[in-house]
Amino acid sequence: MDSQKLSPVDRIAELVFGGENFLLQGGAGSGKTESLKRVVQKVLSVDQKLKIACITHTNKAADEIAERISADIKVSTIHSFLGGVISPYKRNIQHVFPALFELPVFVGLGDEHYDGDEKVRKKEEHERFKKAYKKLENRRQIVLGELTPKVTGKRDYDKDPEAYVVQMNKLIAEVNQEIRAKLATRKPDEFFYNETKFDNFNEPSFGHDGLIAIACGMFDEFPVLGKIVSDRYDCIFIDEYQDTNANVIRVLLRCLPKPSRTIIGLFGDSEQAIYSDGIGSAQEHIDAQEVVLVEKQDNYRCSPQVIIFSNQFRTDGLNQEVALKALDDGTVETFESREGSVTLLYDFASEKIDTGNEAQDKTTNAALFREALDALVGRVSQDYPSYVQLKLTNKSIAKDVGFGRLYQIFDDRYSEPRDRMRKTLDRLQFDEIVNLTTLHQSLPGDRRAYNRLITGLRKRGFSISSVSDKSKLDEILRAFFAKDLSAYKAVEFAAEAGLIKVSESHAAFLTRRDELFARLKDDPVFEAFEALHTSGHRTKPQMLNEIKAAPKENLDADLIEAEYDDRANELKQKKFFNDLFSDELRFGEVLSFYDYEENDGGFATMHKTKGTGIENVLLVIDEYGWTTEYDFVNCFTDEFPSKKRDIASRKLLYVAASRTKKNLVCVRLMNDHAELDRISPYFPDVTHVR
């Protein structure tokens, strides 16, 4: 039979027995996980002796796959799989472990990188220098227990950048040498996987990302590891490949012995990548003929109208088609039963205010736009009461689901607050506490949750060996829930009770906070800058005009010109730390944030869009004033996207829209008629909501 006429499952079985790696690319609702199950059943029906491993990203996903596949195969998370591969080889782990902490030398980028723009080069190069210096500060604190002098300001740096780079690289070389020397004195058995998100130099142990880095480093440096894996498994299938670390995909495809008898199979969709550290697209491996692409065009979820609309935003050329499901009574659904609709409802934003005060006008116009958009969504929601709202913004979602203050703290500090929120909260170990509370709340009755709770606590050093220990644990957790604690007070309670062990990364964060407070306390220039800012002069021009009209002690025009950006950043940092550790921020907001991360509760953001289908969806297409990473207007063009932002925007819009089973209503507050003319042709039905 012609391979092109085979079903995707049959085609994959043909590739497996032909000794070829494959990639199954299927869009939303295409049944990729079901295909994985059927592939396993198909190949085992031919050869029951095949040794197969199925890898996914979370324990929940692994459990779901294990329930679907009753065969005797290995199903695990990527971390569990790699941990099982490398854990016996402690000396090899010790050999590659220093790479987790060593810092690269800093290399300046020349004018050609900045297209000859000297002003831009100076600004960007100093920013790069500061970021590298912060990492150096952190590493010296952890490895040497030493503080590092404050990073050089831009004015001094610009006078002789080469000298400052040489000085920093000398410190980097010294700390790297000390890293290798200290780790060489440890015993191989001391190195272990700590099952948290962070590496620990002094234990020494490695977290989730560290495990990936160490495993890939071992595959690269010790070829025998690839042979061991090849001898152990005939097939390794990875679910949701797009969210798998690129190096994991690389080593499995390139570091097993050639020719390898182990077949690597990737299941997923490059359009639905949600993790920034995932490979996203495996086109490089397709082009290198390391995997054979198998496309699955079926869509068992969406109405024909939604499929046609969503297809317009895929960037890989895959054109999804309606596939009819088998029903529980043994019949097949009809095409007519899948019919739905796609509608655009819009209104126009009011004209922007222009008073000449750029900063104030920006704030005012953003607030007016947000107010008008909320009013539009409110009017539409009344007409479509049964529709589930999906929002592509973050700020309004945060308020709706209970972490508005938490989001505002990060929004005041960072241009892209969402990523920073998760990373910072994880660094302060809120994720560990939330996980413990979630597991405890699953008791009694959930044996799996109980085992994970006990195992996790034992690894943190919490003694659980008797019935009284378990009773003590239950009392501690119940007391924890009974207290209405502020966010960081909850962390302190958990640490004092032994529920968590404060990590090096956590401690370094606190050290950086304390260093900033100590430095600013004795800085008269910052004190004067803060006072001027507090009095209402919040932009550089406003400060310069005020100083010209009324000179200030410890502050003059030259200082403002040279140090405004650095001082404004210090002010933001101080406010951020004060707010984050304030009693005003309650632990309940953190719980709401993590609950939203795991269960989006009827909302979608760029990080939380995948999931099961929703019957009727009201999708708010909006990016105004909240991000520079997405631009949804640019989704509505026949030109193939080339910029990273435009590609990301299309993928997000595709995934959000394709969650709809039947009827999709999109809401947009248009800036002008030109925007309407650009967007409306993509919709079969367009209505102006007044």
Q: Are strands 321-322 and 298-299 parallel, antiparallel or unpaired?
A: parallel
Instruction: Tell me the average pLDDT across 484-489.
Output: 91
Of the pLDDT bands very low, low, confident and very high (cuts 50, 70, 90), residue 460 is low
**CB burial string 245-277: b at 16+ within 10 A, e below:** bbbbbbbbbbbbeeebebbbbbbbbbbbbbeee
Say if residues 597 and 366 touch (Cβ distance below 8 Å): no
CA 436 to chain centre: 21
**What are residue 301's phi and psi, to 5 degrees?**
-100, -50
> What pLDDT does 648 receive?
85
| Omega before 385 within 30 of 0, i.e. cis | no
Q: Taking 50 as the threshold, does the pLDDT of residue 605 lie above it? A: no
Of the pLDDT bands very low, low, confident and very high (cuts 50, 70, 90), residue 447 is low
**Alpha-carbon span 682 to 675, nearest angstrom:** 12
> What pLDDT does 76 receive?
92
Enter the tokens of residue 118.
């000297």
Q: Taking 70 as the threshold, does the pLDDT of residue 21 lie above it? A: yes
Of the pLDDT bands very low, low, confident and very high (cuts 50, 70, 90), residue 200 is very high
Report pLDDT digits (tens) over 209-249: 999 999 999 999 999 999 999 999 999 999 999 999 999 99
**CB burial string 69-98: b at 16+ within 10 A, e below:** bebebbbbbbbbbbbebbeebeebbbbbbb
> What pLDDT does 597 receive?
79
What's this model's pTM, rounded to 2 decimal places?
0.82
Percentage of residues in the chain with pLDDT exceeding 90?
54
Say if residues 621 and 633 touch (Cβ distance below 8 Å): no
Instruction: Tell me the average pLDDT across 576-604.
Output: 83
> What pLDDT does 599 receive?
65
Say if residues 39 and 296 touch (Cβ distance below 8 Å): no
Q: Taking 60 as the threshold, does the pLDDT of residue 606 lie above it? A: no
Instruction: Identify which of 455-459, 546-550, 600-604, 656-660 has the greatest average pLDDT.
Output: 656-660
Question: Largest alpha-carbon pair distance within the chain?
Answer: 88
Q: Taking 90 as the threshold, does the pLDDT of residue 552 lie above it? A: no
CA gyration radius for the chain?
Answer: 28
Q: Taking 90 as the threshold, does the pLDDT of residue 175 lie above it? A: yes
Of 283-292, 317-326, 383-392, 459-468, which range is least confident? 459-468
Return the higher-pLDDT residue of 553 and 85: 85
Of the pLDDT bands very low, low, confident and very high (cuts 50, 70, 90), residue 600 is low
Q: Name the β-bridge partners of 295.
A: 25
Q: Taking 90 as the threshold, does the pLDDT of residue 603 lie above it? A: no
Q: Taking 50 as the threshold, does the pLDDT of residue 2 lie above it? A: no
Q: Taking 90 as the threshold, does the pLDDT of residue 684 lie above it? A: yes
Instruction: Tell me the average pLDDT across 325-346.
Output: 92
Residue tagged 């406010």 (tokens): 575
**What are residue 71's phi and psi, to 5 degrees?**
-70, 160
**Alpha-carbon span 26 to 654, nearest angstrom:** 13
Residue tagged 């809120």 (tokens): 430
> What pLDDT does 628 receive?
62
> What pLDDT does 258 receive?
83
Of the pLDDT bands very low, low, confident and very high (cuts 50, 70, 90), residue 609 is very low
Q: Taking 80 as the threshold, does the pLDDT of residue 431 lie above it? A: yes
> What pLDDT does 347 receive?
96
**What are residue 236's phi and psi, to 5 degrees?**
-125, 115
Q: Angle 404-413/417-427 helices, nearest 10 degrees?
A: 110
Which DSSP string corresponds to 605-641? BTTB--SS-EEEEEEE---TTT-SS--GGGGSSSSPP
Q: What is the DSSP letter of 165?
A: H
What are the distances in angstroms from CA 105 to CA 32, 112, 481? Answer: 43, 20, 47
**Alpha-carbon span 109 to 114, nearest angstrom:** 8
**Alpha-carbon span 101 to 499, nearest angstrom:** 26
Report pLDDT digits (tens) over 366-401: 888 888 998 999 999 999 999 988 877 666 678 778
**What are residue 396's phi and psi, to 5 degrees?**
-70, -35
Enter the tokens of residue 503.
């990590």
Say if residues 423 and 207 touch (Cβ distance below 8 Å): no
Q: Taking 60 as the threshold, does the pLDDT of residue 627 lie above it? A: no
Q: Taking 70 as the threshold, does the pLDDT of residue 608 lie above it? A: no
Instruction: Tell me the average pLDDT across 409-426.
Output: 86
**Alpha-carbon span 670 to 689, nearest angstrom:** 11
Q: Taking 60 as the threshold, does the pLDDT of residue 150 lie above it? A: yes
**Alpha-carbon span 317 to 23, nearest angstrom:** 15
Q: Taking 80 as the threshold, does the pLDDT of residue 626 lie above it? A: no
> What pLDDT does 194 receive?
86
The mean of the pLDDT values for the chain is: 88
Of the pLDDT bands very low, low, confident and very high (cuts 50, 70, 90), residue 459 is low
Q: Name the β-bridge partners of 666.
A: 344, 619
> What pLDDT does 385 receive?
92
> What pLDDT does 580 receive?
97
> What pLDDT does 400 receive?
76
Report pLDDT digits (tens) over 65-112: 888 887 788 999 999 999 999 999 999 999 999 999 999 999 999 888
